[in-house]
Structure 1
Amino acid sequence: MPVARFDEAGRLAVDAALERGDAVVLPTPSPLAYVVAAKTVSAVNRAKGRPRDQPVALWEPRFEQVAPHLALDEAERRRLGWLLGVERVTALAPLATNDGAPGWLAPAARYGMALLFGVAWEPLAWLLERHAPLFVGSANRPGGLPAVDLRQVLTGFGPEVWVLDGDSLRDRARPHASTTTLRFVPGCGWEIHRRGIQDTLHATAGRSDYLADTLARADAALARRPLARRHEGRAGRQARRSRAADRDGHVLLRGPGARRARSHEV
């Protein structure tokens, strides 16, 4: 597997791979894991060794490009922008039914929901400015754990996939894992849809309910109000968990009338 460094030659190699339509493995900021990214869903899935049409997430850090296509009011759009950009979760958000997903968003949509990965990170700003939106999945083969360092990446992918080595930019003493996934349920609010590193670290620190705390921090940041005024308000009422939140693994989406859940793995 060819390894690119964070220098001019490495940038050129990764840039060229994406321009050719290939997938590349990229680091994300601690405590998140490495990801596989490409301009097409098929390239991501080919690198991961799974069916070419398996759902993946859209990576578009410019939230203003995505927001108009979501069935959220202005307050929830602002909250989602904070959750993606600051908390760095993955999110399932409802699509506007009268709009339809544009071509660049459609591959990340299933059953009227869009799977969004919004991480913005300065070391990757040059890449996202040139290539976003991208499609992204966790850096692992089917059945494996997401790679959290270069060594794990190298054992999981073939020689045709370029990897950008970001270990020196990450805090390797910290636990790393895939992101927590949140889902917005119309009429009910936000729920934890899949456990991940954010809620795990929150629980490890002995803090109170992750979702309620996160929504309260979002509201406080957006409204510039003290946290204490939000804990028992809207954030607390909307904080609830889905059945999928009680187990690690795939994000599950159920379509109208579906008899069983479908995998929506990142």
Structure 2
Amino acid sequence: MQDGPTAYPDELPGVARACDMLAAGQALVVPNPPPMTYGVVATQAWEVNAVKGRPVDQNVAVSLHDPSEWAAVVPSLDLPSRALDGVVSLLGQRLSLLLPVRADRPPPRWVAPAVRAGQLAAFDGRWSPTAAIWDRFPRLFGSSANHTGWPPAATAQEARIALGHECEVIDGGPFDLESSSRRASTLVGVGRDGRLRLHRRGAQDQSWSSPGGYLAHLAAVAGMSVAESPEDPG
């Protein structure tokens, strides 16, 4: 919903054209803030899956960057009210989150492709260099920029090789780093008790030696707590 403490420059070249392509129903490869890899976004979940060469009905994460759309999802989250502000803080850390949903009150129909086994896969993709995309499209789905089974694209060149024949690639330019230093986003689960658990290591936690230490840091930032078993065995 807002950029973090890092200040980024103005809009990258090609963003205006990319907005028109999204409006026409095409998927798009976008750069993410370092040290994250590139991602694929689209207004429809099946478009993301089609570009990645996987079943069009596969679950895809949803970006909750728009305050109104976030407010519409909140009543469906099976979380203590005290945890909701913490979730917003976590989204601001560019994490991918798994959020429990209520069985008796499903989320808005448009986010259904992001729900699996009672968990909503969510992130916040908005950042300054591509902000016009997120501001124009309050409803966006996303995934890593790769075909299933292949590493996510760490640079614009890698993204063009992997998916450039399928969709437009916005070049991150000065934000491109060596492939070895970029990762897909860290995936953190929030339990129904509001406690945090690490489901997948990634860009945000790579400098931390242990899941517990990283989650303790997140918990302090978000005013939350850590599950007794901080790392998901699955």
TM bucket (normalised to shorter chain) is 0.7 to 0.9
Identity of aligned residues (%): 31
- Please name the residue that 1:106 is paired with: 112
- Please name the residue that 2:71 is paired with: 64
* Number of residues of Structure 1 aligned to a counterpart in Structure 2: 220
Give unmatched runs, 5+ long, in structure 1: 220-233, 245-266
Give unmatched runs, 5+ long, in structure 2: 1-10
The alpha-carbon deviation at position 50 of structure 1 amounts to 0.8
Which of 217, 224, 238 aligns to 2:221? It is 217
CA spacing shift, 1:156–1:132, aligned 2, 3 Å: same
Please give the TM-score of this superposition, normalised by the length of structure 2.
0.86
Listed as ranges, the matches of 1:3-14 within 5 Å are 6-7=12-13, 10-14=14-18
Listed as ranges, the matches of 1:197-216 within 5 Å are 197-203=203-209, 209-216=213-220
CA spacing shift, 1:28–1:237, aligned 2, 3 Å: closer
One-letter amino acid matched to 2:76: H
Which of 6, 27, 30 aligns to 1:26? It is 30
Which of 126, 140, 146 aligns to 2:152? It is 146
Q: Distance in 2 between matches of 1:73 and 1:101?
A: 16
Task: Report which stretch shifted further, 123-132 or 56-65.
Answer: 56-65
Listed as ranges, the matches of 1:243-254 within 5 Å are 243-244=233-234
Higher relative contact order (CA 8 A, sep 6+): 2
One-letter amino acid matched to 1:164: I
**Secondary structure of the equivalent of 1:71?**
coil
Listed as ranges, the matches of 1:79-90 within 5 Å are 79-85=86-92, 87-90=93-96
- Please name the residue that 1:40 is paired with: 44
The alpha-carbon deviation at position 145 of structure 1 amounts to 0.4
- Please name the residue that 2:186 is paired with: 180
- Please name the residue that 1:259 is paired with: none
Q: Distance in 2 between matches of 1:38 and 1:56?
A: 10
The alpha-carbon deviation at position 120 of structure 1 amounts to 2.5
The alpha-carbon deviation at position 160 of structure 1 amounts to 3.5
CA spacing shift, 1:126–1:210, aligned 2, 3 Å: same
CA contact (8 A) 1:25 1:36 kept: yes
**Secondary structure of the equivalent of 1:44?**
helix
- Please name the residue that 2:232 is paired with: 242
Please give the TM-score of this superposition, normalised by the length of structure 1.
0.76
The alpha-carbon deviation at position 212 of structure 1 amounts to 1.4
Q: Distance in 2 between matches of 1:125 and 1:158?
A: 22
One-letter amino acid matched to 1:240: P
The alpha-carbon deviation at position 188 of structure 1 amounts to 7.3
